[in-house]
Amino acid sequence: MTTTESVSPTALGSGTAATDKFKGERATSDTSPERLAAIARDALSALHAVILEHGVTYPEYRVFKQWLIDVGEGGEWPLFLDVFIEHAVEEVLASSRKGTKGSIEGPYYVPDAPELPAECELPMRTEDREQTPLVFSGQITDLDGNGLGGAKIELWHADAEGFYSQFAPHLPEWNLRGIIIADTEGRYSIRTIQPAPYRIPTDGPTGAFITAQNGHPWRPAHLHLIVSAPGREPVTTQLYFRGGEWIDSDVASATKPELILDPVTGDDGVNRVTYDFALDPA
């Protein structure tokens, strides 16, 4: 067993961490009772239709009930919902925006990362420096292409083994996480490493759900970003790498053609890529 294998995060550990962070936020909504009733009625009607169409049996129903209990006890609701549901909610938001395409936030976001200047390197371990370096640069603008001084990029991603800091016990707290403050023209240049594809944790009920239907648990390699600026709507998105594994079969159904990067490898072995963000007015 390698060192990495011995400290790999479990579904229970990752799920509990994600649940605790989400519960700490205590999300609210101004949904009216009438709107809630309409959504609940249609959701239950859709589920009833599936049961009737497929002739769901009592043994299957009892397995389903036990699985729901297991997901809750394992703290995996943030994982399951972010992987299988969030992309549809994000599409609703995207339909009202003209700027950069969004994608799902996922369960591994952590607020209050260290602030870094426009030209910077993400916090990383010595071991990370031995991986393929990536320089990610570009500009944050309004819809007319004007640079937005003081814009921010919250950037986080997995390491070269697919692990996220604060969700894997062997990683430093802010490894490969940072909030980058763009320059007066909205430009930024960030040095980090090429992330790896990763499997969502499969040793719990979410993994059992995937395995039971002969699915796969893989997400393609990607960068997570929340890009914001005063007077602009923030965009939460993910950027992927052309030709990478699982691009066309992402378990979270979150990839989009507009979010594919094409890094160029220089003579120094550094992968470089430019990507600009355009933000809608608030």
Distances (CA, A) of 27 to 10, 105, 167: 26, 15, 21
179-191 pLDDT per residue, tens = 999 999 999 999 9
Q: What is the pTM of this model?
A: 0.85
CA 154 to chain centre: 12
Task: Specify the pLDDT at position 6.
Answer: 37
pLDDT in tens, 196-219: 999 888 889 999 999 999 999 999
pLDDT digits (tens, 9 = 90+) for 33-73: 999 999 999 999 999 999 999 999 999 999 999 999 999 98
The predicted-structure confidence for 138-183, as pLDDT tens digits, reads as follows 999 999 999 999 999 999 999 999 999 998 889 999 999 999 999 9
Res 8: pLDDT:
55
Domains and CATH numbers, the chain: 93-279 (2.60.130.10)
Q: What is the mean pLDDT of residues 99-112?
A: 93
Q: Which of 113, 112, 88, 116 is nearest to 102 (CA)?
A: 88
